[in-house]
Amino acid sequence: MAPAMMLPGQSSSTFLLSDWGWPVSLTFRSGEASPHPCDIADLLTGLVSIPSLSGDECNAVAWLRDRMAKMGYRALIDPAGNAVGTIGTGECEILLLGHIDTVPGDIPVRVEDGILHGRGAVDAKGPLATFVAAGAKAQLPPGVQLTVVGAVGEETWGSPGASWLRDHYSRPDAVIIGEPSGWDGVVLGYKGSISLTASVERPLSHSAGPETTAPEHMFAFWARLVGWLTEHNGDREPGFNTLDATLRSFNATGDGLHERAELSATFRLPSGTGSAWVREQTEQLANGVSLDWTFNAEAYRSERTSPLVAPFLSAIRACGAKPRIKVKTGTSDMNVVGPVWGCPIVAYGPGDARFDHTPDEQIELAEVEKAVEVLTMAIERIAATLATEHGETA
C-alpha cells in the first residue's frame, strides 16, 4: 500500500491489524500532539457538504479520516472503505458505528436560523459527527478504547460496510449505532426487512374478452396479500409489532403477443417474525405469480435492562430532559451486527427521523450540540463500568 499523504503536524505509523482480526497492514494517520478542538457545526457542515451517495463515499471517507486524525484519533480507511478512528488503548472497547453514505437527492447545503439543510444532515451524518465529537471529548479510563466508524453502504441492501465489520472485527464490549433518535431519546430495536419482486406473464388478449389480464392477475395477488396481512395483524396497533408490506412500484408492458406485469414491495418484519416464514406464507398466495426475494435483515431488539440504557437515561436527565425509549419501524446496522456480536447495543443520535430521505432533510445544530453533551456523559459512564468490571482503575 502506498504511503498515506500526511496532514501538517501529523506522523504516520504502519500497524498490523491482527489485533482486530484483519489480515492486512494499513497506515494510520496519528493525531497531533495537541488535538484540534472540535467545532461540531463546522464538522457536520463539512461532512454534509461532501456528497456520499451509497457506493461513492470515498471522498467523504477520506475527509472524515483526516478530520479524525486532527482531533487525536488513530485514523484509517479499512478494507471495506469505512472510515475508522480509535482513541485510547485497552482490552475493553466501545464501538460507535455510524454510516457515512446517503440516499440520492441534491439538496443545497445551507444553514438558516440555526438549522442545517442538506442530504445526510439527519440520516445519518448528524449522528456520525456527534460520535466523532463526543468520542474526542470523552475522558476514557485506562484499559478502555473507543472506536468510531463511518460505515459505507448502510442505505443499500446488505449494508456492506457493517457486514464487513461484523465478519472481520473482534466483538466489542458495547456498541452504539448512529441513527436519529432525538437528543433525548435512545433506540432499542429495529424491524427486519425483505424485498419482493413479483411478476406474471400472459398471452395478450382483447380488452373486450373474458380473459384476466396480467395487470389484473397481479392486482389480485396484491389484494390477497393485503388481506392476509390485515388478518394476521388483527387489532395490533400499526407500528413496531405489525407485519407490513409497502408497494414500491408497479409496471405493465407488452410486445404485441404477450403482456407482463411486475411489482416490487418491501416487507417490514416485527420481532419474532422470521423472513423464511413470511416467504412461505406469501408463496401460498402466489397463484401463478413468480416471486423473487432479496433478504436484508431480521428484526433485532435490545432489552430495557441493557447496561447501555441507564447511562443514556441518566445523561439525558442531567441535560434537563425526560428520556424517551424508542423502537423504530425501519432497519439499521443494529440488525446487521447485533445478532452476531451479541454484545450490549443501542442506537443514538440527534435529529428528527421524519426528515430522513426527504427533499428538505435538515437538523437543528443546537440539538447536535446537546447530543454531543449527552453522548459524552454516556460514554464516560459506560467506560467507567467496563473498566471496573475488568479490574482497571483510573
Instruction: Identify the CATH number of the domain in which residue 104 sits.
Output: 3.40.630.10
Lowest-confidence region among 142-146, 211-215, 265-269, 300-304: 211-215
Lowest-confidence region among 62-66, 139-143, 386-390: 386-390
Region 14-34: mean pLDDT is: 44
Both 141 and 151 in one domain: the answer is yes
**pLDDT band at 391, cuts 50/70/90?**
confident
Bridge-partner residues for 357, per DSSP?
A: none
Lowest-confidence region among 25-29, 36-40, 240-244: 25-29
Within a domain: 3: no
- Residue 291 DSSP label: E
Both 42 and 136 in one domain: the answer is yes
**Structure confidence at residue 335 (pLDDT):** 97
Both 29 and 105 in one domain: the answer is yes
> Is residue 27 pLDDT above 60, yes or no?
no
Q: Mean pLDDT over all residues of the chain?
A: 90
Within a domain: 276: yes
Answer with the one of 268, 297, 326 that is the final residue of a domain.
Answer: 297
Distance, in Å, from the CA atom of 374 to the CA atom of 377, rounded to the nearest integer, reads 5
Region 70-84: mean pLDDT is: 97
**Structure confidence at residue 29 (pLDDT):** 56
Cell numbers standing for residue 325:
425509549
**Structure confidence at residue 20 (pLDDT):** 43
Question: In this predicted model, what pLDDT tens digit does every residue of 212-236 receive, in sequence order?
Answer: 899 999 999 999 999 999 999 999 9
**Structure confidence at residue 13 (pLDDT):** 41
Both 93 and 154 in one domain: the answer is yes
CA distances to 287, 291, 364, 368 from 284, in Å: 7, 11, 48, 48
Catalytic choice (101, 155, 184, 380) = 101
Both 104 and 152 in one domain: the answer is yes
> Is residue 319 pLDDT above 50, yes or no?
yes
Instruction: Tell me which H or E stretch contains 27.
Output: strand 25-30
Say if residues 333 and 163 touch (Cβ distance below 8 Å).
no
Question: In this predicted model, what pLDDT tens digit does every residue of 97-136 receive, in sequence order?
Answer: 999 999 999 999 999 999 999 999 999 999 999 999 999 9
Cell numbers standing for residue 320:
434537563
Within a domain: 394: no
> Is residue 82 pLDDT above 70, yes or no?
yes
Instruction: Identify the CATH number of the domain in which residue 232 sits.
Output: 3.30.70.360
Region 340-362: mean pLDDT is: 97
Cell numbers standing for residue 345:
447495543
Question: In this predicted model, what pLDDT tens digit does every residue of 126-175 receive, in sequence order?
Answer: 999 999 999 999 999 999 999 999 999 999 988 999 999 999 999 999 99
Residues in the chain: 394
Within a domain: 30: yes
Q: How many domains does the chain have?
A: 2
Cell numbers standing for residue 217:
392477475
**pLDDT band at 208, cuts 50/70/90?**
low
Catalytic choice (154, 262, 298, 361) = 154
> Is residue 25 pLDDT above 50, yes or no?
no
Both 330 and 259 in one domain: the answer is no
Distance, in Å, from the CA atom of 364 to the CA atom of 113, rounded to the nearest integer, reads 9
Both 290 and 326 in one domain: the answer is no
Both 179 and 198 in one domain: the answer is no
- Determine how β-strand 92-99 pairs with β-strand 144-151: parallel
Within a domain: 5: no
Which regions of 118-273 does DSSP assign to beta strands (E)? 144-151, 174-178, 185-190, 192-203, 244-254, 258-269
CB pairs under 8 A, 24+ apart, for 320-325? Answer: 321/183, 321/184, 322/184, 323/184, 323/185, 323/186, 324/182, 324/184, 324/185, 324/186, 325/185, 325/186, 325/188
**pLDDT band at 34, cuts 50/70/90?**
very low
Cell numbers standing for residue 102:
446517503
Within a domain: 214: yes
Cell numbers standing for residue 169:
472485527
Answer with the one of 244, 269, 297 that is the final residue of a domain.
Answer: 297
Distance, in Å, from the CA atom of 355 to the CA atom of 129, rounded to the nearest integer, reads 17
**pLDDT band at 180, cuts 50/70/90?**
very high
Region 187-214: mean pLDDT is: 88
Within a domain: 255: yes
Say if residues 328 and 240 touch (Cβ distance below 8 Å).
yes
Region 74-89: mean pLDDT is: 97
- What is the Cα 223 distance to its own chain's centre? 32
What are the backbone dihedrals phi and psi of residue 328, each rounded to the nearest 5 degrees, phi first? -120, 150
Both 145 and 88 in one domain: the answer is yes
Region 182-207: mean pLDDT is: 92
- Calculated CA dihedral for residues 37, 4, 167, 304, nearest 10 degrees: 0
Domain containing residue 165: 11-190+300-389
Q: Which are the contacts of 392, defined by CB distance < 8 A and separation ≥ 6?
A: 90, 92, 141, 142, 143, 144
Distance, in Å, from the CA atom of 350 to the CA atom of 365, rounded to the nearest integer, reads 9
CA distances to 51, 181, 385 from 193, in Å: 27, 20, 34
Both 278 and 326 in one domain: the answer is no
Within a domain: 6: no
Give SS3 for 293.
Answer: strand
> Is residue 261 pLDDT above 60, yes or no?
yes
Distance, in Å, from the CA atom of 179 to the CA atom of 123, rounded to the nearest integer, reads 7
**pLDDT band at 19, cuts 50/70/90?**
very low
> Is residue 206 pLDDT above 90, yes or no?
no
154: annotated active-site residue: yes
Say if residues 199 and 261 touch (Cβ distance below 8 Å).
yes
Distance, in Å, from the CA atom of 57 to the CA atom of 328, rounded to the nearest integer, reads 26
Both 197 and 51 in one domain: the answer is no
**Structure confidence at residue 211 (pLDDT):** 82
Answer with the one of 263, 280, 297 that is the final residue of a domain.
Answer: 297
pTM: 0.88
Both 150 and 205 in one domain: the answer is no
Lowest-confidence region among 123-127, 205-209, 312-316, 346-350: 205-209
Distance, first Cα to last Cα, the chain: 38
